[in-house]
A and B are shown apart, each in its own frame.
Chain A
Amino acid sequence: MSKHHVTATINGEPAEFLCETENTLLDALRDQLRLTGTKEGCGSGDCGACSVIVDGRLVCSCLMLAVEAEGKTIQTIEGIADGEKLHPVQQKFLEHAALQCGFCTPGFLVAAKALLDRNPDPTETEVRYWLAGNLCRCTGYDKIIRAVLDTAAEMRANA
């Protein structure tokens, strides 16, 4: 079967890759583009470890075909920081120790950034509802929720 040529904007840069029809966006990001920050957890849309932002929307990259990415604007964990300067939510995850093994962390960070892009002043309930599609099996959620709320407060103070 012939390969598909896909052109997209990834982390602000034009990108192109070749994929098979049966590749997911996650496969293409990791295996073709070597953007291995995005993780595969369950592979079935339950855990959120593969979360990326596509045209402003948080999605599971494991449940989207790579060919569906044609013409899309995609943001991955690699595009969250500004060069060496961490995004505030990354810094707050460190300060609050909102991670343990770290496997779920890229997905949580991308999901949290998608929330803060839309809503700079979320309530705790809104944060919990928003992050419901991301699972953490070691640290649990309390520190993560606190880190996101603290990030929102700091970003508002610095705005």
Chain B
Amino acid sequence: MYDFTYSKPSSLADAVAALAGDDQAKALAGGQTFIPVLKQRLNNPSVVVDLAGLGLSFITVTGESVTIGATTTHAAVAASKDVRNAIPALAALAGGIGDNQVRNRGTIGGSLANNDPSACYPAAALALGATIKTSKREIAADDYFQGMFTTALEPDELIVSVSFPIPAKAAYVKFKNPASRYAMVGVFVAKGPKGVRVAVTGAGQGGVHRHSAAEAALAANWSADSVAGITVPADALNSDIHASAEYRAHLVQVVTKRAVIAAG
């Protein structure tokens, strides 16, 4: 790591001020991606602003939505009885991220702010039509994800919480890399207040994206059979040592079907 200054503000306003005054300042949530980035010297921040003192670890469930504070860990979401009852697919997704050690530190806000193209939470946020509340505004998931590692967040804008409308049916199925447990392809299907929505992570060169052909088919007929024959072109999909774009295209087809079956 390069040398940097450490700051642990106790209010959101102070945290935003620390970021606003310095374009080399960086926010630290759970650090499960950011600390490896620092170790590899891929980033050279002037000041690291620790968000752990902001009181943003909370889960609130109403009849309509599940709201999760930005610094809530994956382990807390996975273990929450309220989340399990309201959106079991979301609790299961959190319990399948990385491993135990990662889930005890990694946060939902960190995952969404980073927008790794293979991360799980972006699929849930997009498929459920979540609203991302920040220090400045509320952003609909459809406007929030803007490409690989890119979001609508401004440099001095922090995620405060994420609200997920409670769906009638939902499931997330991931075909995971067996070592990292990142999604080689992950598909979140949901039938809820925002209609039928299907989000795919791990596959696209632009990161998480909606699967409009599957959405149309499921809106007409919610069944595994209606998506079983839907193929997707490999052109815009990732190719790496784990899988070719053609293999990922095949996985999108298979995993979408499995997700519909899991949702029931």
**Residues of chain A having any CB pair with chain B under 8 Å:** 1, 4, 20-22, 24, 43-46, 48, 51, 57-60, 62-65, 67-68, 111, 129-133
Contact = CB atoms under 8 A, between A and B. Distances in A.
Contacts of B4: 21-22
Given A22-B2, A111-B100, A130-B100, A63 B38 contact: no
Given A44-B36, A63-B31, A20 B3 contact: yes
Given A22-B1, A68-B52, A130-B100, A60 B6 contact: no
Interface stretch (B81-89, B101-109, B209-217): B101-109
B99 interface: yes
Contacts, number: 76
Contact of A133 (B6, B50, B98): B98
11 contacts: A44-B39, A45-B35, A45-B98, A45-B101, A46-B180, A59-B105, A60-B105, A68-B50, A68-B52, A129-B100, A130-B100
Interface residues of B, number: 28
B32 interface: yes
Given A20-B3, A22-B38, A58-B104, 11 more contacts: A1-B3, A22-B1, A44-B36, A58-B100, A58-B101, A60-B105, A63-B101, A63-B105, A64-B105, A111-B101, A132-B100
Contacts of B102: 45, 60, 133
A11 B64 CA distance: 44
A59 B35 contact: no
Interface of A is mostly: mixed
B6 A65 contact: yes
B31 A65 contact: yes
B139 to A, nearest CB: 28
B48 interface: yes
Given A59-B104, A59-B105, A64 B6 contact: no
B5 interface: yes
A63 B36 contact: yes
Nearest to B103: A133
B75 interface: yes
A57 B105 CA distance: 9
Contact of A24 (B35, B50, B98, B179): B35
B32 to A, nearest CB: 6
A133 B179 CA distance: 10
Contacts of A45: 32, 35-36, 98, 101-102
Nearest to A43: B39
A51 B101 contact: yes
Nearest to A44: B36
A24 B32 CA distance: 12
Contacts of B3: 1, 20-22
A132 B98 CA distance: 9
Nearest to A114: B100
Interface in B16-39: 28, 31-32, 35-36, 38-39
B5 A48 contact: no
Q: Which of B28, B100, B105 has the most CB of A within 10 A?
A: B100
Contacts of B2: 22
A43 B1 CA distance: 12
B180 A57 contact: no
Contacts of A68: 31, 50, 52
Interface string B50-86: 1010000000000000000000000100000000000
Contacts of A63: 31-32, 35-36, 101, 105
